[in-house]
Structure 1
């Protein structure tokens, strides 16, 4: 049976990042984020729910996150879920956390979180727009990727929707 394990979250850091190094020299960053969701309650009032997620980043992505992000910083993380299990005082315990494979800092340098590069393990030269928020052209390409571009929607022949232009000569 096939399986799929992918998660994408955008939220704010609830604490400063804890950066440590494994004996192999690999950087490990651990932090948590709060993800807010607004919904309409049965009485018609808007209610805000908050969910908290533990995130772990590795390698250069961990170092970049630790350098540029702090408590309150907005971040987008893409990764996979991992369940940790351990035993404490004779009781089995478990916790599900997110292993971040890519991250994007949200906001500019003047906002909380400092902005800066994206991380995600790709060199800065190969990252589209290594600044904070996506450039307007990148944002529209991403958000509107399923809609036809303006030149695709222009009528080109005698079919429906084609209006022959009034030529003054």
Structure 2
């Protein structure tokens, strides 16, 4: 029995679905890492606040209270810097995984639009040549626009990560 859908199309569709679920898992993993970091930060902050709250500062004078506040401020700044450094590392590693996955997808022969349309034109139903020609020309323009959009998005994402790293 001859199928109307070429095997290449079926395998490309399967690869696309696998890629989407793979990227979803990578995003979820990044989210889990951020959630874990936030939980650890909250626990550490609560422990620190509890420790400060039970310190007897009242009877020691204003200098002792000021020293405790100064120490807490310095510690808070250091923790905030460490927190944002971790956030940046998580975002950067997740972004790198997404970029690598995108590069692999775009390098796959099944992703090549021209080859896909050539295959479709070989398997086209009688009288479908005009439709295939129309789709080839339309998809060629769309493919160029998508390539330009991908390049722009990659540059923007890299710049955002670099800005976040420099501010951390």
- Report which of the two has the higher share of helix: 2
Relative CO higher for 1 or 2, CA cutoff 8 Å, sep ≥ 6? Answer: 2
TM-score w.r.t. structure 2 length?
Answer: 0.20
